[in-house]
Structure 1
Amino acid sequence: MGSTAISERSPETTLKRLGWVIGLTRAGMLSERLTRGFWPLWSLLLVIAAALMLGLHDTLSVEVVWGAAVLSLGAGLWFLWRGVRGLRWPTRAEALARLDATLPGRPLQTLSDQPAMRAQDDPARRLWQVHQARMAARARAARPVSPDLRISRLDPFGLRHMALLALLVALLFGSVNRVGTVAGMAPGGAAQAAGPVWEGWLEPPAYTGLPTRYLNDQPEGTLELPVGTQVTIRLYGEAGALSVSETVSDRVGELPPASAPVQDFTVASDGEVQLIGPGGREWQIAVIPDRAPQVEITGPPETSGRGEMSLPFAARDDYAVTGGEAVISLDLGAVERRHGLRAEPEPREDITAEIPLPITGDRAEFEEVLIEDFSQHPWAHLPVEVTLRAEDAAGQTGAAAVARFDLPARRFFDPAAAAVAEMRRDLLWSRENAGRVSQILRAISHRPEEGLFRSETSYLRLRVILRRLENYAAHDLSRAQRDEIAAALWDLAILLEEGDLGDALERLRRAQDRLSEAMKNGASDEEIARLMQDLREATQDYMRELARRDREERDGEDGERQLSENAMQLNQNDLQRMMDRIQELMEQGRMAEAQQALEELQQLLDNMQIAEGGAQGQQSPGQEAMEGLADTLREQQGLSDEAFRDLQEQFNPNAQSGQSQGNEGRSGGDGRGQSHDGTGSGEGEGQEGQQGAEGQQGAEPDEGALADRQEALRRELERQRGNMPGAGTQEGDAARESLDRAGRAMEGAEEALRGDDLAEAIDRQAEAMEALREGMRNLDEALAQQQQNGGQGQQGTADADGGQARDPLGRNPGSRGLSGSEDELLQGEDVYRRARDLLDEIRRRAGESDRPEEEREYLRRLLDRF
């Protein structure tokens, strides 16, 4: 038994049993060598097959195909010779070495070894047999070695992968049948034996979106093709065996022969296409015409609160509208030729504006709105003719019927602004109106009645524009100078229309007028939100002004006035709720109700009394700071008025003082400041004030005194800024920053006054007053925030609601006995998002069945109410 077992584990027996493993390993080695030696050859063959399956030989000339064939053949023979020359058949010894390298201890090599010392002793011989048997057991576990087919080192650019990709593309988009067509290019080949063949394609214009059709698959008869379809026909076989006849292209001049291998033409009209020869066919072509696009105006133009024109229109086309324009020309025959329009207008090009197209969706038929602002154009509010044109991809155009209307533009409600805008239009109408415009502007600015100009800055700008216009007109006004004056007049008109933001009452009236106008014109949601925000800000400024005046009146009467029994008190929350209701009605399209609510709000603002806390004892530091800033603002206004009067007298030295608007700073019948000579009080009436003015007529104003007073006012502001409460809060820091800007502006005004630059001084004083107003607003917000945090209550001062007691939640009772939230709690851009979040939360809680029924009933009542 022992000898039999040893014989079974002998090297010869073990290697014999591993014959199939060694054979597979040799085959793997052979595949490695074939792959490494012949990968360029099979890559070339894959590329050639892909080119033939895609039909590239059909698109190239015969010469190019034959040249490519010769090159491919030469490259293939070179790659074949190179691979055969480097190919070596793997031997059995190489396969054993490859297999043995994968086994631990190299058992195959051990089985073929002999002991170095041929010892005759039995122990050594038995030890060697045991070692051989152990190696034979390891060898029997051998498995064929997998071939290493990686050739990335030989093909670093991945050419073999590109060839394989080309073949896959050819299998997807090509046809194996096209490979046989290459034989037709050989003289006496298979094509000649089978007869002539042809192929054709019908390619509609790209803008139609229709697919390309294979002409060979189209049955004989009538074919409907869009105009502009490209027809391509290729003829194979003997030259002249096939020819093409067509009457659809309307081609003239020198034409290619009917038997040319490639026939290309475009379908332009009805006709026929015929292939003449063996296997010929015939089709009747019916052209689908491409009609011109159509466009029409679908409604009257509308004007937004900002003066933008909205003109709705509709457009349609067979396939798609690619563009268009609106051409606006002046309807001179319909213009009422009077006043500044009496002169002959200067030539001006028509207005051209591109019509909007849908960003997404089908452009074959759509409705859009042309929105443009022509407020600054000379034709604003004049009769015009509007023509809309649309264009398709074929270059065809269609025009709408001419519409006639007054060109919509911004309206000016302020009389002075409207007059300045009209003079600007007259100047742009014709430069011949320069003298008339300067004359009217001088008449407007000469002794203007009170209320015509809301600020000294606007009056000064008008006078500067007037002087510049007269200087230009004296030296033949040019187009560039005319446009410069027109731009300055437009800015002045906007300033007069918008007015001084510190004039709270006028700003409130303008905000209400604009909102009412937006209701009539059907403004968008964005326009409504902007106008409502302007109304809110104007209302807040107006209430602050009323509160300030109410405090002054109480101080003047040395006591607190008692409200009448029937007097209504409104706080900020009541007004905010009313304005929220107005905006909600407008967004819902209920304009009549919104207009009525706006009128009610206006009546309440006209008749209301502001509910403020009366000082039952000593004023708080915040109230003292507010009153001090108010006094500083009034004094700064007085200084600005005096500087303005001095500048006005420089323009018109012989003007009588005291009668023009804004005369609050110098002597005269209506003046309230110092006298011109610096000695009088300016408070006198009648003869006294007039004599003082006449006695000092022609005297130079003392600008040094104004500069000294400006310096003293600046130092007072610095003291107030240092003692102002609210330090450490965001609102308090903002107030201090605003007062710091006011101080720098005062310093600039002081330097300008010392340099006798009154115009610069007035500008700096205007900046100081605006910064003071902003600082007072910030301080007011800081004090309100302090009251919410309980700061005012701890100081023993009354709150902002007239000293009324708060409820247990710290809320103030409203005007109707209802508890209201803190002032300005729901102001800002997120008010509606917050309201929606609250309603969603109420709905969620009302739907939870695990809540008490009483609570759910209360939540349902809230949902029913809101």
Structure 2
Amino acid sequence: MADQTIDPNDIIGRVKRPLALTRAGLVAERAVRAFWPLWSVVFAVVAMLMLGLQDFVSATVVLIVAVLALGLAGWTLWRGVSRFTWPSREDALIRLDATMPGHPITTSLDRQAIGAGDGASAAVWNAHQARMRARLAEAKAVEPDLRVSDADPYALRYAALLALAVALLFGSVMRVSSVAGIGPGGASDLATGPSWEGWVEPPAYTRLPTIYLNDITDPELSVPEGSSVTLRLYGEVGALSVSETVSGNPLAQEDGVDETARDFSVETDGRIAIDGPNGRAWDIAVTEDAAPEVDQVGRFDVKYDGEASLSYEASDDYEVTGGTATVTLALDEVDRRYGREIEPEQRDAIEVPLPLPVAGDRSDFEETLIDNFSQHPWANLPVNISFEVTDAAGQVGASEANVQTLPGRRFFEPMAAALIEERQALLWNRENADDIALIMRAISHEPDGLFRQSSHYLRFRTILRRLEASAEDGMSDEEVAETAAAMWDLAIVLEEGDLDDARERLQRAQERLTEAMRNGASEDEIAELMQELRRATDDYMRQLAQEQRRTAEENGESPSQDMQNGMQMTQNDLQEMMDRIQELMEEGRMAEAMQAMEELQRLMENMRVTEGQGQGQQSPGQQAMEGLGETLREQQELSDQAFEDLQEQFNPGQNRQGQQGQQGQDGQQQGQGQQPGQQNQGRGEGQQQGQGQGQGQGEQQGQQGQGGGQSLEESLADRQRSLRGELNRQRQNMPGDGSEAGRRAGEALDRAEGAMEGAEDALREDDLAGAIDRQSEAMEALREGMRNLGEAMAEQQGQQPGEQGQQGMADGTDPGQQRDPLGRSAGSNGQIGSDEQMLQGEDVYRRARELLDEIRRRSGEGERPEEELEYLERLLERF
């Protein structure tokens, strides 16, 4: 017979601890749901008192708010008490049992209703209860459900909690006592007495901490000039008063003036006193903010192209926030002959922003102003140069005016120098136009031997006719500017000359450097001559490339075919040789330097270079590399577009202002068969099939660019699908089969295709962030595939993997002709890099300052996504 004797205490004892915790959770749950309005009211009232809001309103308002708060607190208390019920043990037991499979607690407490006399039935029942009792060991306390969002849809409890947190951070518990003094009699004030609080806040640019006057017992206090003083008086009005002599405008003690608060700034030495019970006084010593100082260092340092640099040093007791260099014409120092006999036209002074340190201390530093004034009317004339800097307080410090010659480009070719001289006379005063036209007509009367090309003479005559026609009725500002620009452009062409001139300058630079090495010239002289050689070599290389291209076009040949007859060199090879020569000279090994110089001369004589990309027949490997490079660029453009769309979701209208018409125009151009990355047409020219595919792809993109009926994400997805199809087509004839590098290239391109497919799916699901991640994976896989393909091609040609890039240069397929947005060369093996300066002669410091200012501006825009703001803050912390 079954055992019907069950001890409930034994069953409940097995789950005693989780049962007690579950019951406590029920208490908390019911208390929260019943009393959340009560403590929300309490939090809000305490926050208002700690923030001292009662000090800014009348006693009547405080009394009304107090009555409302008490009434609301009483109602919420009654509501909570009426709704709260203490949970019983049975309630906790039911909740705990409901969370366990099979309800083991209830089952363990049950008795067998039927079949108790049947042995088999009793055995089954006992086995069932044994299993249920074993499960009691797995009982765990049930977490309470403290959510009351259904009862508080407007999150009033969180608003009250936020107010209390703000009060704890920025308020004071002492302010709560001030409410006791409000009302008739102020009985509490009689017991506690009046009180006060005070702060001295230095200007933000000093980065000094705020001083809490209640903690300052020393009667002497030193503070920076311009500090803000805030005093708050609590208790009976009139019990405490404030007197001060530091603001320069002592506070007037007039009837009706609110005596509970005083705010003023510290301008002079003086005294601040709080008169009355528990009052205090301080003698204030003001630390004056000194004006910044600036001074020029040395004189202008000028490069061959007229770029000038002038160093300056500035200092301030805190930091320099900005500065300007002002240039005015030193008319008394000008040689007033020829075209400068008449008075010059009035021109505004040249004002150039001074570069400041991008990172680091700005209280004492030295920087260099870099600019090019070659085209200014005052170029190569005496000018007054002065510097001004400002600090955060708005104080200005200026340097003494210094008379220097404003640097500009020098012209050594006689005709170019004459043209520049007449240009400057025109800019000096347009009344010189008749004399300038007469001089230009005289020097061009017999042009034989003056101009190397007839086109130069024709441009000269065009400027002359325009000048004569404009001078009859008086030249306008636009005509003067256009004529001066045309004269400058022609002078540059005449000065730089053609290939013969470049070769002559190169030979002259080589001879001068060789002679200096023989005669033991100084290091500074050799360095200057080496720099001249570098400039002459660059000019010669450029002229030689242009000459070979013209010759090849006239003969119907490609530059790559012409190069087979001469030595092939890259610009990096020449730079490395000249670096080696300079290193040998700096080490004093002049004999070896001269030998290296002779080798460089022989190489230059036999050298053939080309410009642009190869227009002749390309190998399948080169075609494949160009095709993958084009796919990589198109994938980058597609990723950029997706990123712009993602930004548009966070900042609607910011990234697409003024682009709607441009999108239609771009779509129309692409619809005519132009590919997005059409600056490189190597794939279209080398592969007929690729051209047709690219054209079809361009037409499809053009149709999408025109709007159609597709959403933007669908348009991007279609472009991604077309790009994936193009990659699949390129892989059909990929070289390098059978080699390890070729196998790795195939695997990388497999990953790229898979990532493209994932990006397409993400775009169709409007998941731009996921699409950008997959596109990034695709681009990285493409780069890896291109690197492996380059190694496979090098192995087939018996080269080292690192030589593939040079072979591409030798064959005329210079990947350096393709540039990224920073001006860097895109390598043929998927790598991106360049030894060139990205700013190409721009003011590096000014550009860096502009970027830093833009980062600061964006970091202050609170509507930007939190991830972007955190990234901008990390940039500011680093730089």
TM-score under structure 2 length normalisation: 0.59
- 2:282 is the counterpart of 1:283: yes
Paired with 1:471 and 1:135, the residues of 2 have a C-alpha distance of 117
Equivalent position of 2:431 in the other structure: 432
CA distance in 2, matches of 1:595, 1:164: 83
Instruction: Report the Cα offset of residue 63 of structure 1.
Output: 6.0
Deviations 1:588-612 (A, max 9, x none): 995999999799969996x999679
Aligned to 2:462: 464
Give the partner amino acid of 1:31: A
In structure 2, distance between residues paired with 1:12 and 1:540: 102
Point out where structure 1 has 5 or more consecutive residues left out of the alignment: 547-569, 613-622, 630-720, 735-808, 812-820, 836-866
Which of 230, 233, 236 in structure 1 is aligned with 2:234? 236
Give the deviation of 1:357 after TM superposition.
0.9
Go from structure 1 to structure 2 and tell me whether the alpha carbon gap of 1:236 and 1:434 turns closer, same or farther (over 3 Å shift): same
Q: How far is the alpha carbon of 1:157 from its aligned partner? A: 5.8
Match of 1:273, SS?
Answer: strand
In 2, Cα distance between equivalents of 1:65 and 1:465 = 84
Q: How far 1:304 sits from its partner (Å)?
A: 1.4
Deviation at 1:574, TM superposition (A): 14
Between stretches 218-227 and 130-139, larger displacement belongs to 130-139
2:34 maps to 1:37? yes
8 Å CA contact 1:294–1:315 kept in 2: the answer is yes
Alignment of 1:147-546 (within 5 A): 148-154=144-150, 155=152, 159-160=156-157, 163-164=160-161, 167=164, 176=173, 178-185=175-182, 188-251=186-249, 260-450=259-449, 452-501=450-499, 505-506=503-504, 508=506, 532-537=537-542
Looking at structure 1, the residues matched to 103 and 617 of structure 2 have their Cα atoms a distance apart, in angstroms, of 95
Asked whether the equivalents of residues 508 and 542 of structure 1 are also in contact (C-alpha less than 8 Å), the reply is no
Find the residue that maps to 1:300 and give its secondary structure.
Answer: strand
* Partners of 1:574 and 1:105 in 2: CA distance: 82
Q: Equivalents in 1 of 2:244, 2:171: separation in Å?
A: 29
Give distance in 2, aligned partners of 1:15 and 1:576: 87
Q: Paired residue for 1:87? A: 84
Deviation at 1:542, TM superposition (A): 9.5
Work out the CA distance in 2 between the residues paired with 1:575 and 1:24: 79
Structure 2 CA distance for partners of 1:484 and 1:276, relative to 1, 3 Å: same
* Alignment CA distance shift 1:359-1:531 (3 Å): farther
Offset at residue 106 of structure 1 (A) = 5.1
Aligned to 2:458, the other structure's residue is in SS state helix
Structure 2 CA distance for partners of 1:725 and 1:396, relative to 1, 3 Å: closer
CA contact (8 A) 1:375 1:409 kept: yes
| Aligned-partner residue type, residue 291 of structure 1 | A
SS of the counterpart of 2:473? coil
State the alpha-carbon separation in 2 of the partners of residues 203 and 299 from structure 1: 41
Residues 384/597 of structure 1: CA separation in 2 closer, same or farther (3 Å cut): farther
* Distance in 2 between residues matched to 1:834 and 1:428, nearest whole Å: 40
Find the aligned partners of 2:48 and 2:305 in 1 and give their Cα distance: 65
Would the aligned equivalents of 1:585 and 1:593 in 2 still touch at CA under 8 Å? Answer: no
Measure the CA separation in 2 of the matches of 1:403 and 1:426: 25
Contact 1:191 1:237 in 2 (8 A): yes
Change (3 A) 1:824 1:130: closer
Q: Which moved more, 1:589-598 or 1:312-321?
A: 589-598
Deviations 1:769-823 (A, max 9, x none): xxxxxxxxxxxxxxxxxxxxxxxxxxxxxxxxxxxxxxxx999xxxxxxxxx999
8 A Cα contact 2:502 2:540, kept in partner: no
CA distance in 1, matches of 2:529, 2:214: 58
SS in 2 for 1:225: strand
Between 1:191-200 and 1:426-435, the stretch displaced more is 191-200
* 3-state SS of paired residue (1:381): coil
Report the secondary structure of 1:352's partner residue.
strand
Q: Superposition pairs for residues 7-86 of structure 1, below 5 Å?
A: 7=5, 9=6, 27-53=24-50, 66=63, 68-86=65-83
Distance 2:808 2:11 in 1: 101
**Structure 2 equivalent of residue 656 of structure 1:** none
Task: Kindly state the Cα deviation for residue 56 of structure 1 after the two structures are TM-superposed.
Answer: 5.6
Offset at residue 158 of structure 1 (A): 5.3
Displacement after TM superposition at 1:52 (Å) = 4.4
Q: Tell me the CA shift for residue 126 of structure 1.
A: 11
What secondary structure does 1:299 align onto? strand
- What is the DSSP-based 3-state SS (H/G/I as helix, E as strand, rest coil) of the residue aligned with 1:329? strand
Structure 1 position 272, deviation (Å): 1.1
Letter in 2 for 1:322: T
Aligned residue pair count: 613
Closer, same or farther in 2 for the Cα pair 1:390/1:213, shift >3 Å? same
Distance in 2 (CA, whole Å) between partners of 1:406 and 1:422 is: 16
SS in 1 for 2:298: coil
Letter in 2 for 1:32: E
| Residues 501-650 of structure 1 aligned to structure 2 (within 5 Å) | 501=499, 505-506=503-504, 508=506, 532-537=537-542, 580-584=576-580
Deviation at 1:394, TM superposition (A): 1.3
Q: Following TM superposition, by how much is the alpha carbon of 1:443 offset from its aligned partner in structure 2, in angstroms?
A: 1.3
* SS at 1:298 equivalent: strand
Quickly say closer, same or farther: Cα 1:110–1:128, change in 2 above 3 A. Answer: farther
- 2:573 and 2:121 map into 1 onto residues whose CA distance is 109
Sort the Cα spacing of 1:532 and 1:74 in 2 relative to 1 into closer, same or farther, 3 A: farther
Q: 1:123 aligned to 113, 117, 129, which one?
A: 117
Q: Distance in 2 between matches of 1:223 and 1:361?
A: 31
Alpha-carbon deviation of 1:93? 5.4
1:328 to partner: Cα distance = 0.8
Q: Which moved more, 1:80-89 or 1:316-325?
A: 80-89
Structure 1 residues 191 and 440, CA, compared in 2 at 3 Å: closer, same or farther?
A: same
Give the partner amino acid of 2:209: P
**Contact 1:321/1:391 (8 A) holds in 2:** yes
Q: Is the 8 A contact 1:514 1:531 kept in 2?
A: no
Query: Residue 317 of structure 1 contacts residue 365 of structure 1 at CA under 8 Å; is this kept in 2?
Result: yes
TM-score, scaled relative to structure 1? 0.59
Identical positions, percent:
44
Contact 1:511 1:535 in 2 (8 A): no
Counterpart amino acid of 2:496?
Answer: E
What secondary structure sits across from 2:117 in the alignment? helix
Residue in 2 aligned with 1:862?
none
1:88 shift after superposition: 3.5
| CA distance 1:179–1:536, change in 2 (3 Å) | same
Question: In structure 2, what residue type is equivalent to 1:477?
Answer: M
Contact 1:455–1:499 (CA<8 Å) still a contact in 2?
no
Question: What is the DSSP-based 3-state SS (H/G/I as helix, E as strand, rest coil) of the residue aligned with 1:245?
Answer: strand
* CA distance, structure 1, for counterparts of residue 104 and residue 110 of structure 2: 10
SS at 2:299 equivalent: coil
CA separation of 1:480/1:386 partners in 2, compared to 1, >3 Å: closer, same or farther? Answer: same
Distance 1:441 1:822 in 2: 50
Which amino acid in structure 1 is aligned with residue 117 of structure 2?
A: P
Other structure's SS at 1:326 match: strand
* Runs of 5+ unmatched residues, structure 2: 517-522, 552-565, 627-796, 800-805, 817-823, 828-832, 836-879
Q: Distance in 2 between matches of 1:588 and 1:600?
A: 9
Partners of 1:469 and 1:30 lie apart in 2 by: 98
Give distance in 2, aligned partners of 1:210 and 1:123: 91
SS at match of 1:88: coil
